[in-house]
Amino acid sequence: MPTVGARKNPRPGSFAGYRTYISRLQALARTPDQGGIWNEHAVAALNGQASTMLRKTASRHLRRKHGTFFTGTELGARLLSRTGITHHEGFFYDPACGMGDLLLAAARTLPLGATLSETLELWGRRLAGTDLQPEFIDGTKARLVLLARQRLGQTRPGDSTIASLFPKIRIGNGLLERDTYKRATTLLMNPPFGLARTLSGCTWAGGRVSMAATFMVTALERSRPGTEVLAILPDVLRAGSFSEQWRERISELAEVHLVEPYGVFDETTDIDVFVLRLVRRDANLKKSKRWPALYKTRAASVSDCFDVHVGRVVPHRDKKSGPEHPYIHPRSVPAWRTLRELAETRKHKGLVYKAPFVVIRRTSRPGHPYRATATVIAGKASVAVENHLIVCEPKDKTLKSCLHLMRQLKSNRVNRFLNRRICCRHLTVAAVGAIPYTTTTKRTERKA
Ligand SMILES: C[S@@+](CC[C@H](N)C(=O)[O-])C[C@H]1O[C@@H](n2cnc3c(N)ncnc32)[C@H](O)[C@@H]1O
């Protein structure tokens, strides 16, 4: 996702093409409901339309640069359901609020006032958000008005201008904010994920790191003891070996109450995320509830320990010329076996793979007993591999790692992961590379 650093004066209007959509939302919030259709529009505006319209009006490059990927309704509701706070006096702050999807999820849990203006006033006192993009701030406010009207069944719009509502939701840089962190009882976070330089004085990393990591540490450093943080974060922070120091820093600052893998962020964004619940520590108390140990010893994914490729031989396209190699295709590699002898050979000029390695059939279906059916190719031969097989070459070049991977692929854990991650018949290199891979053998996953 993005690379927006801690700029003091954000340049407004990067998402100017989105303005027409924001104007439509504002008009809808000001329009009376004269029989049915208003509610349909409001439902769409509150569920996913903001993301769809952003994809239509802003290039992928721009969205990645600024890290603008809005949380879906289901994931937002899941995040809020993980709160440990039961009282109704919460003050929510999303420091990088985008179109307000997490604030909407919070507002769905807030009480209503007797009238629309009372409700908006009440919510305005308890919801705060900052974002660098002015369009998103206007959009957040309009959507909160839509939600309030929808929940109240209010057909008539209120008297106030939308801009005058929600004074604590405003253009701002969440990395420079201070007071609002202090006031918040719950921080809601799905910060930008892209890489950017660490802030000056950073002790837990150097160079370029995920903005999400920087946002989390900044938020915790500035919040009061007892503040709850509910966050959606890239999976690499949960388990990646490069993020170990970040997890240490988080454990120093906060009690880690929940680390919950979620799967792919949404259908259009090929990135795995997890849900995190923290409570800011009191510096004087004992440092219990640190980051769960499992995640310290576990490599993030298959691609951390294996090079993953698609086999290079396309049988009906490639000429049989060049050196003769042992040759494998899906029918010649029995499932869950270790092959030391390969019966077939083929002339092939292109890339071949040196054993040992694991091959996985590309074609699988959700509902089949195993989504990633594997075979280990042992020995030392250079093998021509058909393109219906995915090759996983162990970075440590050992047969032991191949056998370890095959054992893990034959599991419901991997099935569940792939069913969530990819619904089409063909496994992709990205999906196989992202399969969680445990380098330690006998540990049970635990939630804090
Ligand atoms: C991944 S989106 C998530 C938005 C929202 N929290 C949600 O869950 O839908 C991240 C948002 O952070 C904003 N952003 C990026 N850098 C920021 C910064 N330094 N301060 C405030 N917002 C920032 C982007 O404009 C984008 O809207």
Q: For residue 98, which atom of ligand 1 is closest to its CA?
A: 27
Question: pLDDT at position 2, please?
Answer: 35
Q: Which of 175, 190, 195, 217 to mutate to test the pocket of ligand 1 (most atoms within 8 A of CB)?
A: 190
Ranges of each domain in the chain = 16-296, 303-434
Ligand 1 and 2: CB distance under 6 A: yes
Which tokens is 140 given? Answer: 């957040």
Asked if pLDDT for residue 228 goes beyond 60, the answer is yes
pLDDT the model gives residue 88: 66
- Categorize the per-residue pLDDT at 9 as very low, low, confident or very high, splitting at 50, 70 and 90: very low
Looking at residue 244, its pLDDT comes to 86
Pick the closest to residue 106 from 125, 85, 92, 86 (CA basis): 92
pLDDT at residue 35, rounded to an integer? 78
Ligand 1 pocket test, pick from 66, 131, 136 with the greatest ligand atom count within 8 Å of Cβ, gives 131
Question: Ligand 1, closest atom to CA 189?
Answer: 6
pLDDT digit string, tens, across residues 244-258: 899 999 999 999 999
What stretches of 95-165 adopt beta strand conformation (E)?
127-131
Q: Residue 47 pLDDT more than 90?
A: yes
* pLDDT score recorded for residue 261: 86
Distances (CA, A) of 13 to 22, 59, 174, 185: 12, 14, 18, 31
Question: For ligand 1, atom 24, which residue shows the shortest CA distance?
Answer: 68
Task: Please work out whether the CB of residue 100 comes within 6 Å of at least one atom of ligand 1.
Answer: no
Tell whether ligand 1 has an atom less than 6 A from the beta carbon of residue 135: no
Whether 140 lines ligand 1, by a CB cut-off of 6 Å, is no
pLDDT at position 368 over 80: no
Residue 139 main-chain phi, psi, to 5 deg: -65, -40
Topology of the domain covering 303-434: Adenine-n6-DNA-methyltransferase TaqI; Chain A, domain 2 (3.90.220)
The Å distance, Cα 399 to ligand 1 centre, comes to: 44
pLDDT score for 262: 86
With a cut of 80, say whether residue 331 has pLDDT above it: yes
Using CA atoms, how far residue 188 sits from 90, 92, 95, 292, in Å, is 12, 7, 8, 22
Query: Does 303-434 match 16-296 at the fold level?
Result: no
Q: Does position 193 have pLDDT exceeding 70, yes or no?
A: yes
* pLDDT tens by residue, 56-107: 999 989 999 999 999 999 999 999 999 988 756 789 999 999 999 999 999 9
* Residue 39 near residue 156 (C-beta atoms within 8 A): no
pLDDT at 445 over 50: no
Q: Which of 132, 216, 230 to probe ligand 1 with, by most ligand atoms within 8 A of CB?
A: 132
Residue 388 clears pLDDT 50, i.e. is over it: yes
Buried b (16+ CB within 10 A) or exposed e, 425-441: eebbbebbbbbbbbeee
pLDDT band at 299 (very low <50, low <70, confident <90, very high): low
The mean pLDDT value for 375-397 works out to: 96
% of residues, the chain, pLDDT over 70? 91
Q: Which atom of ligand 1 is nearest to the CA of 2?
A: 15
Mean local confidence (pLDDT), 163-172? 97
Predicted pLDDT at 94: 98
**pLDDT confidence bin for 159, thresholds 50/70/90:** confident
98 lines ligand 1 (CB under 6 A): yes
Going by alpha carbons, the residue nearest to atom 9 of ligand 1 is 70
- Residue 239 pLDDT exceeds 50: yes
Closest ligand 1 atom, CA of 70?
A: 9
Most confident of 14-18, 150-154, 428-432, 441-445: 150-154
pLDDT over 60 (residue 366): no
Nearest atom in ligand 1 to the alpha carbon of residue 1 is 1
> What is the predicted pLDDT for the residue at 57?
94
Residue 212 Cα to ligand 1 midpoint, Å, equals 10
Q: Please tell me if the CB atom of residue 138 comes closer than 6 angstroms to any atom of ligand 1.
A: no
Distance of alpha carbon 283 from alpha carbon 279, whole angstroms: 12
Looking at ligand 1, which atom is closest to the CA of residue 95?
Answer: 21
- Residue of the nearest CA to atom 19 in ligand 1? 173
| Rounded distance from Cα 22 to ligand 1 centre (Å) | 17
Residue 191 Cα to ligand 1 middle (Å): 5
Tell me, using a 6 A CB cutoff, whether residue 66 lines ligand 1. yes
User: Which of 88, 208, 70, 82 lies closest to 129, judged by CA?
Assistant: 70
Judge whether 312 and 415 are in contact, CB under 8 Å. no
pLDDT above 50: residue 358: yes
Which amino acid residue places its CA nearest to atom 4 of ligand 1?
Answer: 98
pLDDT-derived band at 438 (thresholds 50, 70, 90) equals confident
Q: Residue 383 pLDDT more than 90?
A: yes
Region of 400 on the Ramachandran plot (φ > 0 left; ψ -120 to 50 alpha; else beta): alpha
Cβ of 94 closer than 6 Å to ligand 1, yes or no, is yes
Model confidence, pTM? 0.70
Measured in Å, residue 67 CA sits from the centre of ligand 1 at 6
Locate the ligand 1 atom nearest the alpha carbon of residue 94 and give its number.
Answer: 6
- Amino acid letter, 87: H
Is the domain covering 16-296 a CATH 3.40.50.300 domain? no
pLDDT of residue 240: 72
Q: At 13, is the pLDDT very low, low, confident or very high (cuts 50, 70, 90)?
A: low
**What does the pLDDT read at residue 87?**
57
Whether 363 shows a pLDDT value over 60: the answer reads yes
Query: With 90 as the cut, is the pLDDT of residue 336 above it?
Result: yes
Q: Determine what percent of the chain is predicted with pLDDT higher than 90.
A: 71
